[in-house]
Chain A
Amino acid sequence: GQQVMQIPQYQHVQEGEDFTTYCNSSTTLSNIQWYKQRPGGHPVFLIQLVKSGEVKKQKRLTFQFGEAKKNSSLHITATQTTDVGTYFCAGMRDSNYQLIWGAGTKLIIKP
């Protein structure tokens, strides 16, 4: 079936370093959403990308949607302790508006 693969599963960074997580779909998506889940919390919506090649920024976060609408990335510049958590992508199928969730990337700040 249709899948969204998200890598890496974990990323350890020093505070101040950059962080990137990638999502790839086996088929074209109508849009992709990104969520953040803090430790002990629940997923919180960050952004939705709809257009081919779209790039959106939220302060230090940059979100991209690929030209073929099959892949997406989230890049965080100069990570801070408040960025700690798991970042999920969720792609929407064209056929039935269902979201297909990636497995998440856990951002860990090294002490």
Chain B
Amino acid sequence: ETGVTQTPRHLVMGMTNKKSLKCEQHLGHNAMYWYKQSAKKPLELMFVYNFKEQTENNSVPSRFSPECPNSSHLFLHLHTLQPEDSALYLCASSQDEGNEQFFGPGTRLTVL
């Protein structure tokens, strides 16, 4: 499946680094999402964008900064992360909010 792509697939970073995760969807969808998946909390919604506008921010710390330049691309900028931020970060898209979601393969992030 190549409808939703994410890069990089794996990322190791130190707590002082700045990095960005990229998501691209080729499905013509209007809504895009960032999720965090870890062993302790299986699937946590972080951010929702609909028509490039952020519609949900689930009390995510400011060290995570999303950017949605257009309806096909979504970024997650990372800065001064903590080891507990290590997780699988999943991007998803849907035709509109509430419709079935199509997930990317995820970025496995390790913070040292």
Q: Using CB atoms and an 8 Å cutoff, list the residues of chain A in contact with chain B.
A: 30-31, 33, 35, 41-45, 48, 86, 88, 92, 96-99, 101, 103-104
Contact = CB atoms under 8 A, between A and B. Distances in A.
A81 B96 CA distance: 34
Given A86-B42, A101-B45, A103-B42, A43 B103 contact: yes
A5 B10 CA distance: 31
Given A45-B100, A45-B101, A88-B43, 18 more contacts: A42-B103, A42-B105, A42-B106, A43-B43, A43-B103, A44-B103, A45-B102, A86-B42, A88-B42, A96-B55, A96-B97, A97-B96, A97-B97, A98-B48, A99-B45, A99-B98, A101-B42, A104-B42
B74 to A, nearest CB: 15
Contact of A101 (B43, B56, B105): B43
B107 to A, nearest CB: 11
From DSSP, what is the main secondary structure of chain B's interface residues?
loop
B90 interface: yes
6 contacts: A33-B100, A42-B90, A45-B100, A88-B43, A101-B43, A103-B42
Contacts of A86: 42
A48 B100 CA distance: 8
A59 to B, nearest CB: 19
A48 B55 CA distance: 23
A48 B96 CA distance: 15
